């Protein structure tokens, strides 16, 4: 793909920052709009300090005037939209932020993108893309023997998070069908890897195990997720950006279904080897009350992406999970800063003084 200018939203979060680092490595120029919520972390982008290929903008996708201004000023080839509230448990305890960011935020972004796209010369209109990053959770839950989700599987979201993402997917689809905005959507399974906020299963379990704290398994631990290494998700997004069919959706998955309990046992075995604690780490496993409405199984059929765009996951779970555990061991300070809450105060102070 020729070098492009990309307006990335949510590029200081887990997947967004992995994407920004990889896109810059591949020669693209990034304008990174992120509100730095509790999940956004400017430290993820420290290696880009002073790099003219990355411009960080501290602001919200809910600010339509700011988004319009960035579109006019930078004339990006594409908007790559990651920004969201992303944690299912938080959506259960406080759904309002999910409605605001995931639905109203996506709506605001679509409105600004449409206005900008309509004003472009025809040649530029043809090249413009709005890539919406979504989730497999919009399809609901599978039983043990149902076939994997494919692009035509009906939407059946079960949590406020997945319902808000489903609503945003529908808005994106509608802006293509009604107004012709050149959109494409990806629906991906569970990601893991560096920079994942330690509220999600894998980094939470690694952090707790290292700290000698209980490893809380929801329900019976038999829920299944399809795990994909984050670099493979970023690679899929770049492939879809380059050659995805307009108005289309692409499922992205790891071909790697695993039960939660097996994931946690694997993490414990790796830690027993890389960070021995005297006693096996799996002695810390504790069963706790289940997540309300907990989806039983996700599985992704990503054959369309493989067939049409030649994408396939490159990282095996065996190598990806070892790399991930090693990354968290090597980056204990990154985690400590987050869990102490100190980094948020620092960011607030630093940015309010500069604005």
Active site residues: 136-137, 161
- Site for ligand NAD, residues 128 to 167, rule: CB under 6 A: 133, 135, 165
Footprint of ligand NAD on residues 46-85 (CB under 6 A)?
Answer: 60-62, 82-84
State the nearest-atom distance from the C-beta of 284 to ligand DAU, in Å. 12
By CB under 6 A, tell whether 169 contacts ligand DAU: no
Cβ-based nearer residue to ligand DAU, 71 or 228: 228
**Binding window for ligand DAU (CB under 6 A); candidates: 17-25, 37-45, 212-220, 320-328:** 212-220
Handedness of CA 144, 166, 226, 209 (dihedral sign): negative
Residue of 92, 113, 102 whose CA lies nearest to 37: 102
- Residue 204 binds: one of ligand NAD, ligand DAU, none (C-beta under 5 to 8 A by kind): ligand DAU
Site size toward ligand NAD, by CB under 6 A: 30
Least distance to ligand DAU, CB of residue 355, Å: 29
Judged by CB under 6 A, does residue 172 bind ligand NAD? no
Residues 6+ apart with CB under 8 A from 160: 91, 92, 95, 98, 99
Q: Is position 10 an interface residue for ligand NAD (rule: CB under 6 A)?
A: yes
Q: Which residue has the tokens 């970023």?
A: 234
Calculate the alpha carbon distances from 258 to 63, 153, 300 in Å.
Answer: 40, 21, 12
Binding of residue 18 to ligand DAU (CB under 6 A): no
CA distances from 239 to 127, 137, 247 (A): 15, 22, 15
Report, in Å, the least distance between residue 111 CB and ligand DAU: 24
9 binds, among ligand NAD, ligand DAU, none (CB under 5 to 8 A by kind): ligand NAD
Q: Is 88 near ligand DAU (CB under 6 A)?
A: yes
- Site membership for ligand DAU, residue 85 (CB under 6 A): no
**By CB under 6 A, is residue 136 in contact with ligand DAU?**
yes
CB 165 → ligand NAD: shortest distance, Å?
5
* Closer CB to ligand NAD, 77 or 232, in the complex: 232
Applying CB under 6 A, which of residues 135, 164, 249, 256 lies at the interface with ligand DAU? 135
The residue within the footprint of ligand NAD, chosen from 8, 15, 167, 201 (CB under 6 A), is 15
- Taking CB atoms, the residue at the shortest distance from ligand DAU is 135
260-297 CB burial, b ≥16 within 10 A, e <16:
bbebbbbbbebbeeeeeeeeebbebbeeeeeeeeebeb
Residue 61 or 338: the one with the smaller Cβ distance to ligand NAD is 61
Query: Among residues 197, 199, 187, which one has the least CA distance to residue 89?
Result: 199
The answer to whether the beta carbons of residues 91 and 164 sit under 8 Å apart is yes
Q: 144-154 burial, b if ≥16 CB within 10 A, otherwise e?
A: eeeebbebebe
Nearer CB in complex with ligand DAU: 64/198: 198
Binding site for ligand DAU (CB under 6 A): 86-88, 135-137, 189-190, 200-201, 204, 216-218, 223, 225, 260, 291, 298
Binding site for ligand NAD (CB under 6 A): 9-10, 12-16, 33-37, 39-40, 60-62, 82-84, 86, 101, 105, 133, 135, 165, 188, 190-191, 197
């Amino acid at each position: 793909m020729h070098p492009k200018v990309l307006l990335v939203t949510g590029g200081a979060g887990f997947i967004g920052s992995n994407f920004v680092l990889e896109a810059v490595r591949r020669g693209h120029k990034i304008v990174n709009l992120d509100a730095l919520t509790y999940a956004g972390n400017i430290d993820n982008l420290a290696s880009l300090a002073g790099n003219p290929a990355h411009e960080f903008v501290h602001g919200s996708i809910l600010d339509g005037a700011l988004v319009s201004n960035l579109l006019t000023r930078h004339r990006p080839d594409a908007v790559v939209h990651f920004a969201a509230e992303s944690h299912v448990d938080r959506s259960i305890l406080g759904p309002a932020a999910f409605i605001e960011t995931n639905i109203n935020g996506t709506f605001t972004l679509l409105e600004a993108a449409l206005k900008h796209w309509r004003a472009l010369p025809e040649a530029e209109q043809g090249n413009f893309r709005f890539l919406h990053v979504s989730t497999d959770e919009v399809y609901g839950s599978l039983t043990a023997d149902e076939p994997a989700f494919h692009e035509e599987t009906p939407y059946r979201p079960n949590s406020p998070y997945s319902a808000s993402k489903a609503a945003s997917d529908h808005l994106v689809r509608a802006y293509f069908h009604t107004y012709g905005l050149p959109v494409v959507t990806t629906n991906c399974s569970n990601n893991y890897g560096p920079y994942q906020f330690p509220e999600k299963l894998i980094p939470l379990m690694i952090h707790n195990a290292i700290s000698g704290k209980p490893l809380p398994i929801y329900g019976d631990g038999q829920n299944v997720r399809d795990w994909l290494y984050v670099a493979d998700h970023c690679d899929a997004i770049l492939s879809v950006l380059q050659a995805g069919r307009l108005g289309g959706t692409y499922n992205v998955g790891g071909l790697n279904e695993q039960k939660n309990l097996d994931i946690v046992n694997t993490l414990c075995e790796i830690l027993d080897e890389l960070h021995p604690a005297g006693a096996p780490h799996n002695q810390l496993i504790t069963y706790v009350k289940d997540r309300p409405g907990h989806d039983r199984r996700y599985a992704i059929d990503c054959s369309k992406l493989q067939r049409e765009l030649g994408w396939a996951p490159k990282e095996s779970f065996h190598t990806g999970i070892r790399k991930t555990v090693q990354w968290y061991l090597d980056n204990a300070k990154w985690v400590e800063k987050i869990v102490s809450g100190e980094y948020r105060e620092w960011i607030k102070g630093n940015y309010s003084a500069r604005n």
